[in-house]
Amino acid sequence: MNPLDILYGAAGVWLAAGLTGLLAGSWRLGLRACCALSALAGAAAAAAGGWSLVYGNTRVVAPGPPTIVGGPLQLQMTSLAGVFVAVLGIAAVAIALYAPRYHEPSRGSAVYLAAYHLALLACLAVLAAGGMVTFLVAWETMSLACYLLILRHLRSDETARGAFWFLALSEIGFLLVVAAFVILSAKTHATELDLMAARGHLVPGGWRAAAYLLALAGFGFKAGLVPLHVWLPEAHPVAPADGSAFLSGVVVKLGTYGIALFAFRLVPLAGSWPGLVTMGAGAVSAAIGILYALRERDLKRFLAYSTIENTGIIVTAFGAAMVFHAYRLPALSAFLLIAGLYHVANHGCYKTLLFLEAGVVEHATGTRDMDRLGGLVHRLPRSTVITFVGTLGIAALPPLNGFVSEWLIFQGLFQGFRTGSHLAAILIVLAAATLGLTGGLAIYAFVRGFGIPYLGMPRTPQAAAAREPGQPVAGPALLAVACVALAVGAPVMLAALSRTARTVTGTSLGPLLLPGKLTVIPAHADFSAFSPTYLAVFLVAACAVPVLIYLAGRPRAASVSVPVWDGGMVSFRPRMQYSAMTFSAPTRVTFDALYRPSVSVRRASDDDPAGRSGPVHYEAQVTPVFERYLYRPVVRAVEWLADAIRPLQSGDVNLYLLYVFLVILLAYLLGAV
């Protein structure tokens, strides 16, 4: 009995769920049955993942016949994948609880459920792949399944466009990953991952570097590393809520898994530069991701950019871990790996939560535009509370989980001076500073992302008409609980992760990390210490004290309640409250070098000699730098190439016969040689 066996069960149930969905998903009952199975399997997968953290790697097994592309189906459960499997499981449970209320039973929903469970299986297979063929097949299957996922609501060509962005970039990434694997297997004469890792020393340094960089770029497309990120803000808004939750919570994480897989398992790299490159890419992604998030009005585009930020943070941690490894600091390396994996778990929880709640908001109001929302706290109280928990988490505010992992990452990066190399130290500190900026901006962004839609007055009738009954609650609530658990239960989580780190890197820092029951000493014995548990408890207590004091000393006199002081105005209108774009105007002014905003002001008074004022139209557009200066040229080149080779496809039979003849001739000549 080992984690893998449980995963077999989970996979089987998911398969059954997918079939149920495909066949019966167009009836409410079938939908519910499918989701029930899915939740069951998710729970199993989560358990398996959690177990494998402490269990270590299982043996590679090759059940069943060779796969369609040849090569056996090789499966293995590693504790590096454990975190990801657990996240996959939890997300699956939450989505399964959420979907029945979100989706109207129809043929579309049936196909969607099938595609979704196919994607689940593919992700599971990627994580449980013991051989490169299995990995690649699963990876490609996942991409295609997610493509179908995004196409669920084919409202406009905007949907098709977003889905196409996803598919195109996934395929490019896939090619790079294939190249990386081919190099490794060619040099090590192995397809099994363990074998590749064992024979890693056979690979010449140059090829190693090439393979790693190819992998970094290839997985970077999935993980959304800047500038390979452009599919996220395009695909997430058009996908259904649970679909985009799955994309952000799980699929994007697989990108980081791939990077970790190459960095820590397959390619033992020499020299610190690959680590520095990885760390730099992560830091840049984090900063640019949050900066673009601040300019978004669409709730889901905003969350998508924040996903870019978070994967950036994770990759930064992995990169720093690689650097420390290169400088013979195994403890620090292992520690940062732990911190990164912790952040993977955290982000998997709260980002899934936030996307699901964004779906609730869209469901209830029919819009995702923050500037058309407002005042939802009175209309959707339960989802407001849940969103608030998720927001605290993602804004990395204590006592929630985001704070724990980001704080650990900072503690690790602050150890940069121990590398002994000035360059590395400076670069690591720079990365830390960038993450600091990112953290600050993230708080700013999520004050905005929570305050504008949920607080204040409703800006539109639709927002005012939002109602809670019928909205899904259980799924996001589960994730909220998970967020709290990840914060309060940090020591447990860290203990488990230190086992993982020992399995992956062979360094054990359990006693160093957790001297007491609840106290964590991150990074280094004499640097810092804190206890997330006590922190959470005492923060809550600290909030309770003033409340108690108030309740104790409440004035006995009858209190009068009067309306808000509005300066004696005639009437206070919704247009008089801070809007999402005005709230983030200061960043637009500060970072205009990045945004290159184009401001257009049109006043009724401008074209009127008498200077009457009247309707004012004020728009500030941000230049999409990457789309315009990076991707558009590529697209143009491809189109040009397509035009260039069109004459070959003339449609003339004789011409085709000529081609056939030439090919045969060529083959004959080659055979003759």
Partner 1 sequence: MTTQAAAIRGTVTTRVPAADLEKVTADLAKAPGTRLADMFASDGGITVLRLVWARESGYLVTETEIEGGQYPALSDIAPAAFVEECEIYEQFGIRPATGKPLNRLMLPPHAGPDFPRLGHAPAQPPQEVHAPHTVGGQAFEFPFGPVRQVGVESLYYGLVTSGEEVVDVYLFTWHKHRGVEWRLRGTTPRQAMFFAERAEGLSAVAVGWAFAAAAEAALGVAPPPAADRTRAVALELERLYNHAAAMAALCQATGLTVGQSAAEIALERLLRVNAAAFGHRYLFGVIEPGGTARAPDVAVLRRELPAAYGELRRAADALLRTNSFVDRLEACGILTAEHARRLGLVGPVARATGLTVDARRDGPYAAHPVTVVTADGGDVFARFQVMLGEAAESVRLIGEFLDAGTAAERTALPAKGNGEPGSGSGLGWAESSRGEVLAWVALDENGRITRARLRPGSVRNWRGFDDACRSQNVFTDIPIIEASFWLTAAGLAR
Partner 2 sequence: MNPSLDEAEAARRLRDTIAAQFGRSLHIRTLDTGSCAVCEQEIRLLSAPHYDLHRLGFFFTPAPRHADLLLVTGPMVRAFEVAARKTYEAMPGPKVVVATGACALGGVYPKDPFVHGDVGQVLPVDVWIPGCPPSPLALLHGLGVAVGRLAEKTPGLTFIADGGQG
In terms of CB distance, is 559 or 654 closer to partner 2? Answer: 559
- Answer for which of 584, 591, 595, 622 binds partner 1 (CB under 8 A) is 584
| CA angle, 360 then 361 then 362, to 5° | 90
Find the shortest distance in angstroms from Cβ 564 to partner 2: 9
Cα-Cα-Cα-Cα dihedral of 280, 286, 287, 290, to 10°? 170
502-541 as b/e: b if 16+ CB within 10 A: bbbbebbbeebbbeeebebbbbbeeeeebbbbebbeeeee
**Contact indicator for 287, 342 with CB cutoff of 8 Å:** no
In terms of CB distance, is 470 or 567 closer to partner 2? Answer: 567
- Residue type at 588 in one-letter notation: R
Instruction: Kindly indicate which of the ranges 56-64, 196-204, 406-414, 602-610 contains the residues binding partner 1, using the contact rule CB under 8 A.
Output: 602-610
Task: List the alpha helices (DSSP H) in 553-616.
Answer: 580-583, 585-590, 592-595
Q: Considering CB distances under 5 to 8 angstroms, the limit depending on partner class, which of partner 1, partner 2, none binds residue 403? A: none
Strand partners, 602: 617
Q: Which of residues 565-584 bind partner 2 (CB under 8 A)?
A: 565-570
Mind spelling out the 3-state secondary structure of 657-670?
HHHHHHHHHHHHHH
What tokens were used for 560? 């009068």
CA distance 229 to 247: 13
Which H helix or E strand runs over 598? strand 598-603
Q: Which of residues 438-467 bind partner 1 (CB under 8 A)?
A: 459
In terms of CB distance, is 569 or 672 closer to partner 1? Answer: 569
Q: What is the DSSP letter of 199?
A: T
Find the shortest distance in angstroms from Cβ 565 to partner 2: 5
Q: Considering CB distances under 5 to 8 angstroms, the limit depending on partner class, which of partner 2, partner 1, none binds residue 563? A: partner 2
Q: Rule CB under 8 A: say whether 558 interacts with partner 2.
A: no
The footprint of partner 2 on this chain (CB under 8 A) covers a number of residues equal to 9
Q: Which of residues 606-645 bind partner 1 (CB under 8 A)?
A: 608-620
- Answer for which of 586, 592, 596, 639 binds partner 1 (CB under 8 A) is 586
- x-or-dash string of contact with partner 1, 279-308, rule CB under 8 A: ------------------x-----------
- Answer for which of 270, 465, 576, 630 binds partner 1 (CB under 8 A) is 576
Find the shortest distance in angstroms from Cβ 562 to partner 2: 5
Strands (E), 221-286: none
- Answer for which of 1, 29, 68, 562 binds partner 2 (CB under 8 A) is 562
| CA angle, 473 then 479 then 480, to 5° | 85
Q: Rule CB under 8 A: say whether 596 interacts with partner 1.
A: no
Give the CA distances from residue 129 to residues 18, 191, 340, in Å, rounded to whole numbers and listed in that order: 21, 11, 21
Find the shortest distance in angstroms from Cβ 621 to partner 1: 9
- Answer for which of 568, 647, 651, 671 binds partner 1 (CB under 8 A) is 568
Instruction: Kindly indicate which of the ranges 67-75, 102-110, 364-372, 623-631 contains the residues binding partner 1, using the contact rule CB under 8 A.
Output: 364-372
CB atoms < 10 A from the CB of 302, how many?
27
CA distance 644 to 137: 33
Positions that interact with partner 1 (CB under 8 A): 297, 369, 371-372, 459, 566-570, 572-573, 575-586, 589, 599, 601, 603-605, 608-620
Positions that interact with partner 2 (CB under 8 A): 560, 562-563, 565-570
